[in-house]
Amino acid sequence: MMHRLAMLAGALMLLAGTASAQDIRLGTVIPLSGGGASYGASIQQGLDMALREINAAGGINGRKITLDVADDASDPAQSVIALQRLVNDNDDLVIGGWGSSQVLANMAVAERAGMPYIVVGASNPRITTSANKWTFRTLTNDNGHAARLAEVVSLLHFKKIAIIYDTNDYGVGLRDIFTAGLAKQGIKAVDVESYQTSDKDFTAQLTHIAAAEPDAVMLFGTLPAIAAIMNQARDQGIDARFLGAAGLSNEAVMKLAPQAAQHAIATAYFHVDTDATAKEWAARYQQAFAQANQAPRPSQAAPAYEALKLMAAPCLAQVGTDKDKLRLCLKAWHGTLFGLPPAEAHFDDTNQLLAPLVVEEVVGTEFKLLPGANQ
């Protein structure tokens, strides 16, 4: 039995990447198998692109960056082991983490090992707390999305609002905060329905919603379920406007619900039309990954790219790879991100990045900025 484990250990060391000594080792824990595989691939694309650009420009103070990838198979227990491997490969910092359940499980490893960990793929508010020391998060959390959506609802004068949410922590989180936001405006949802992530048929929920005759339906969930809901809702004659958070701002929506998703509104972390850099970056990104087996998705790859290129790289250049200095540099970081309304972004005391969200709308086969919502 013992020789088995020894051989296993040897093999793993080999696979950990043939990085030369003075390279900067960037680790990433993402799902390359299981349900989140497509999201993991987009994050890796964002990191790869930033990495190549930095290395092409001579690296950071002459040191090249290498990427050490750990696949957590979209499973919380395995994501603990995956992040532990990155710590064990003594990577200098980790950018990654998709799925709230996975991050809630694996961030303890980063906190314990003292590893700077920038989360770019999970939005549950409970990830960033005052106890966070090493774990940062660049995505606006669900509170931000729900609050922004409540503003849009009042902006567009929707009165009869229905909610359908996924019973996972993403959906439940959004439902609670949004309902609170509505209450502040003195509005109560006309109907609230729930579904399981793996559900395929939503006849029962949509029949309830149809009866409430809403003028807006909030979709708090992820693909492919919310696309199926939109299709089945239109089939059942519900013509209310659809609104959603980051789960909806995914380019795959246009493929899965071409007609039903028209004019659906979504909050997002990136939009091409906000500024010139975003447009130029998106073009470079699309061109770079045109042949990749995972179709390029700017909205999913941008946060990872910006975390490395705009936040980690400057700090690495400034303080090198000393973990504590790196942490303090990140904590003090402030700057503007492209693809979002222009505003000064910085980390709060729970290491949550305070940055604006963009509000976009599906028009044809693209996301367009929702007029009047992105001042």
Binding site for other proteins (CB under 8 A): 1-2, 4-5, 8-9, 11-12, 15, 32-35, 37-38, 41, 70-71, 73, 75-77, 80-82, 84-85, 87-89, 101, 104-105, 108, 112-113, 126, 167-169, 171-173, 193-196, 198-201, 203-205, 207-208, 211, 223-224, 227-228, 235-237, 252, 255-256, 258, 293-294
Cβ-based nearer residue to other proteins, 274 or 299:
299
Nearer to other proteins, 286 or 294 (CB): 294
Minimal distance in Å, beta carbon 22 to other proteins?
A: 22
Nearest of 218, 211, 312 to residue 264 by alpha carbon: 218
Q: Hey, what are 321's tokens?
A: 């790879």
CB of residue 271 vs other proteins: minimum separation in angstroms?
Answer: 22
Cα 162 versus chain centre, distance: 25
Closest distance of CB 178 from other proteins, Å: 16
Supply angle C-alpha 83, 85, 88, rounded to 5.
Answer: 115
Helix (H), strand (E) at residue 347: strand 345-347
> What is the nearest approach in angstroms of other proteins to the Cβ of residue 351?
17
Nearest CB to other proteins, comparing residues 192 and 313: 192
Using alpha carbons, list the distances in angstroms from residue 10 to 3, 23, 83: 11, 22, 19
HSE-up of 13 (CA within 13 Å, CB side)?
5
Nearer to other proteins, 195 or 338 (CB): 195
Q: How many CB atoms lie within 10 A of CB 80?
A: 17
The sheet carrying 345-347 orders its strands as 334-335, 345-347, 353-354
CA angle 98, 103, 105 (to 5 degrees): 140
Provide the residue count of the chain. 375
CB of 315 to other proteins, least distance (A): 25
Instruction: Select 30 or 359, whichever has its Cβ closest to other proteins.
Output: 30
Q: How far apart are CA 164 and CA 152, in angstroms?
A: 18
Question: Rounded distance, CA 145 to CA 131, Å?
Answer: 23
What is the nearest approach in angstroms of other proteins to the Cβ of residue 113? Answer: 8
Q: Which residue's CB is nearer to other proteins, number 53 or number 111?
A: 111
Q: Which amino acid is at 49?
A: M
Give min distance, CB of 365 to other proteins, in A: 13
351 phi-psi bin (left φ>0, alpha ψ -120 to 50, beta other): left
Q: Quote the tokens at residue 151.
A: 């503003």
CA separation for the pair 225, 223 (Å, rounded): 5
Closest to other proteins by CB, 113 vs 363, is 113
Least distance CB 257 / other proteins (angstroms):
8
Amino acid symbol at 267: T
Closest distance to other proteins from the beta carbon of 273 (Å): 26
**Of 101 and 262, which CB lies nearer to other proteins in the complex structure?**
101
How many whole angstroms separate alpha carbon 74 and alpha carbon 312? 25
**Please, is 263 exposed, middle or buried when counting C-beta atoms within 10 Å of its C-beta (0-12, 13-18, 19+)?**
exposed
Pick between residue 63 and residue 234 the one whose CB is nearest to other proteins.
234
